[in-house]
Amino acid sequence: MSVAESLPRAAERKSRAKQPTRVRRPSREDALEAVRTLIRWAGDDPHREGLVGTPDRVVRSYAEFFSGYDEDPVALLQRTFEETDGYDEIVMLKDIRFESHCEHHIAPIIGKVHIAYLPSNRVVGISKLARLVEVYAKRLQIQEKMTAQIANTLDEVLQPKGVAVVIEAAHQCMTTRGVHKPGVSMVTSRMLGEFRTDPLSRREVLSMIGTPGGGSCEHV
């Protein structure tokens, strides 16, 4: 096999590796019984009047919380527009609110995402940026991984000159349990392309975003 013939196959393998792991989902009745088991483990009776409908409500909530597993983020960005009259400055969508759940405690993560990119020769509808956030937020997450996933997907599909993603969020796993530190937010960022290599472009995009978390949060 020639090198030219092997490259598409290597790219295909790389693409397959990026797909989320598929797992066999249990039945809905299995999920309902799992909730009943947790209620009993907590020390209550899942069959008493106030709790008898709780398993169904929890299962329906989980279907909403984790709907991102059923969506393809790459396919979401496939429709782009090239008629921009040569526009090549920063495109930014700020303050995209999201709700996610941490994969360590399944506790809520609530915050906002700022997305910016420098178009090369095409742009994408701004609603797609918000939907991209939703796809990754509606999965079990850690904030660092979610930041990278959003930036990497935009970079892969749009192939812009630069991508910047900044997320600031409060994690209920440390505000309502554990160390119990309310009022704390975490800030993560990922810069690609010119936003990573050009200090002036990086400063410009960060200036447009503002100072996440009042300038006192952790950046990774």
Of the candidates 12, 78, 104, 218, the residue annotated as catalytic is 104
Is residue 105 annotated as part of the catalytic site, yes or no? yes
> 114 catalytic, yes or no?
no
Which of 171, 172, 194, 204 is catalytic? The answer is 171
Tally of CB atoms within 10 A around 182:
9
- Report the 10 Å Cβ neighbour count for 59: 16
71, 99, 173, 217: the active-site residue:
173
Q: What DSSP assignment string belongs to 144-166? A: HHHHHHHHHHHHHHH--SEEEEE
Which residue in 114, 141, 143, 172 is the catalytic one?
A: 143
Q: Catalytic residue among 33, 71, 105, 156, which?
A: 105
104 has catalytic annotation: yes
Round to the nearest angstrom and report the end-to-end CA distance of the chain: 42
- CB atoms < 10 A from the CB of 173, how many? 17
Catalytic position from the list 33, 71, 99, 103: 103
Q: Is 171 a catalytic residue?
A: yes
Catalytic residue among 102, 134, 141, 168: 102
In the three-class reduction of DSSP (H, G, I as helix; E, B as strand; rest coil), residue 201 is classed as: helix
Among all residues, which ones are annotated catalytic? Answer: 102-105, 143, 171, 173
